[in-house]
A and B are shown apart, each in its own frame.
Chain A
Amino acid sequence: MSAFPDRTRSMHRAATSLVLVAAAYEGIARSGYFPAALLPTLPAVGRALVEGVLDGSLPGHAVSTLYRVLLGMALAVVFGLPLGILMGRFRPIEGFFLPLASALMPIPSLAWVPVFILWFGLGNATAIGIVFYAALFPMLLNAWSGVRSVNPLWLRAGSAMGADERSLFWKVIVPGASPFIITGLRQAFLRAWIAVVGAEMLAASDWGLGWVIFDAKEFLKTDVMLAALAVIGLIGFVFERLVFGTLERATVLRWGMVREANG
């Protein structure tokens, strides 16, 4: 499979398709069929983006959104990871928490927003609580299945070579479960990212990217909405590819737990 000429052709086509879509959008926006307030031209969106970045408002919103996501995620990891590992190791703990997790998991995190608003008030506490709820279950269930999927042969080999419970844990179980744990982190972030945007629309006071979009709707500032959407997409993309990709390379790929797929 000679990937090289193939790949350049794919890149050309990808670029062509993006240009075509942009041109089509621009054409529709300029045609005047739709009000310019609803369908701003691309330069207008670009201008809104640049202005927002330069006057520091968009970075400020992004920072407060990130703060909520990261704090909620951190809480979810602190609770979910140890609990998931314990569930994977000990039957009684599994028997107790698994039914609870299976009952709570199908409830979308956004359904809790109104309840959390009543309990914690508008603002940060509610948003962080929603992120925690959204991120907890992917974390918990992946840690649990990761520990359960550790090859029993490795455990027995470890014990036979005289490993105590502690070194068994650090040298066998954690590395063995790590591909699942990283998958869990990824899924938790995806969920958390959705949850935070929704929670900010419904519950935020006056900072956050979700709130920007919601607020811009009131003033028909579609260009600001599209600019904020671009920032949300960019941050999501950066986390997915750079943060989790790097994490994966530094751990499971290096330890040889999963292979990199390259043709």
Chain B
Amino acid sequence: MAARSSDRFPMQNVDPASGYRPLHVFPRAQESWWRTAARTAFPFVVVGALWEAVARLQMFPSRLFPPLEVVAAALFRLTASGVLPHHALETVLRLLAGFALAAIVGVVIGIVMGRSRLAEDLALPIVSMGAPIPGIAYAPLFLLWFGLGNVSVVLLVGFVSAFPIIFNTWTGVKAVKEVWVRSALAMGADDRRLFHKVILPGALPYILTGLRLGLAQAWRVLVGVEMLAAVPWGLGWMIFGAREFLNTDVMLAGVVVIGAIGLALEKLVFKRLEDFTVVRWGMMT
């Protein structure tokens, strides 16, 4: 049963066994903390110096290519005045609302598809038709249907991030070993216990991968959609709006904050979640 799932879909290369896994592996001899920090900082210092040199030599108009301290000053000014935190907060709230929607709906659909052959046959063609269309392409359609503003943005973010969650949950449920299910049944587990004690933990590594991919997609589409949807607050809108006034320093400050939030979502939220669940249960190392 598990064999037929892996070859059929665009999302196939996202199973936890392939792709980015070796990224975290960084085997090196023990070395002091500050040497590691210095080595990590070194490339940034080089690139920063290059940027600074280009900006100072005025090769491009400094309005368009501001020196780093101007960007830093903009970052500081906007943070101190509370504008930037407000933009960031609205963006994160939209992300969380859309993602929560996608997580709940996606996991439920994925599990139902994994457990019932009928549901799988009915839902799969629809899901696999929607998946290869980039989420941002739906944006104008959603704006027409649900109006400019938050409703469209949250629905679109949810819609887009639901696909990887559905695919991975479905794959995960199908990848639960038949032997585990049968031995649980032989030991007298009812449906409910089977689900809680065997299927859910067994599928969890895949579900978490799906959630992680879904969140990454949600983040990517949200920034773009905020530029289109004319919401009053939000980082995407801030960057896009700053373009009108040639405020390149504000735009770059916004890009920095977007990168920082993206990194934090990946490193803090999901790393923790994984450590608490699948790593602790010994499903993944």
Q: Which residues of A contact B (CB under 8 A)?
A: 1, 3, 9-10, 13-14, 16-18, 21, 38, 95-97, 99-100, 102-104, 106-115, 117-119, 141-142, 145, 148-149, 183, 186-187, 190, 193-194, 197-198, 201-202, 209-210, 213-214, 216-217, 220, 222, 225-226, 228-229, 232-233, 236-237, 240-241, 260-263
Whether the Cβ atoms of B144 and A99 lie closer than 8 Å is no
Whether the Cβ atoms of B22 and A240 lie closer than 8 Å is no
The residue that A148 contacts in the complex, of B5, B22, B144, B242, with Cβ under 8 A, is B22
The residue that A119 contacts in the complex, of B13, B64, B124, B266, with Cβ under 8 A, is B64
Any A CB within 8 A of the CB of B80:
no
Whether the Cβ atoms of B138 and A229 lie closer than 8 Å is yes
What is the minimal beta-carbon distance from B89 to any residue of chain A, in angstroms? Answer: 17
Any A CB within 8 A of the CB of B252:
yes
Contacts of A118 in B (CB 8 A): 64, 243, 246, 248, 251
Main secondary structure, interface of A, reads: helix
Q: List 21 A-B contacts (CB under 8 A).
A: A10-B120, A13-B121, A13-B122, A16-B122, A17-B123, A96-B42, A103-B44, A103-B259, A110-B224, A111-B236, A114-B251, A115-B252, A115-B255, A118-B248, A190-B10, A217-B143, A228-B137, A229-B133, A232-B137, A233-B132, A261-B7
Q: Interface size class for chain B?
A: 35 or more
Whole-angstrom distance between the alpha carbons of A96 and B224 in the complex? 30
Most buried by A among B3, B144, B258: B144
Produce 1/0 per residue, B1-34, CB < 8 A to A: 1011111001001000011111100000000000
Whether the Cβ atoms of B20 and A202 lie closer than 8 Å is no
Contacts of B70 in A (CB 8 A): none
Q: Which residues of B contact A (CB under 8 A)?
A: 1, 3-7, 10, 13, 18-23, 39-44, 46-47, 60, 64-65, 117-118, 120-126, 129, 132-141, 143-145, 219-221, 223-224, 227-228, 235-236, 239-240, 242-243, 246, 248, 251-252, 254-255, 258-259, 262-263, 265-266
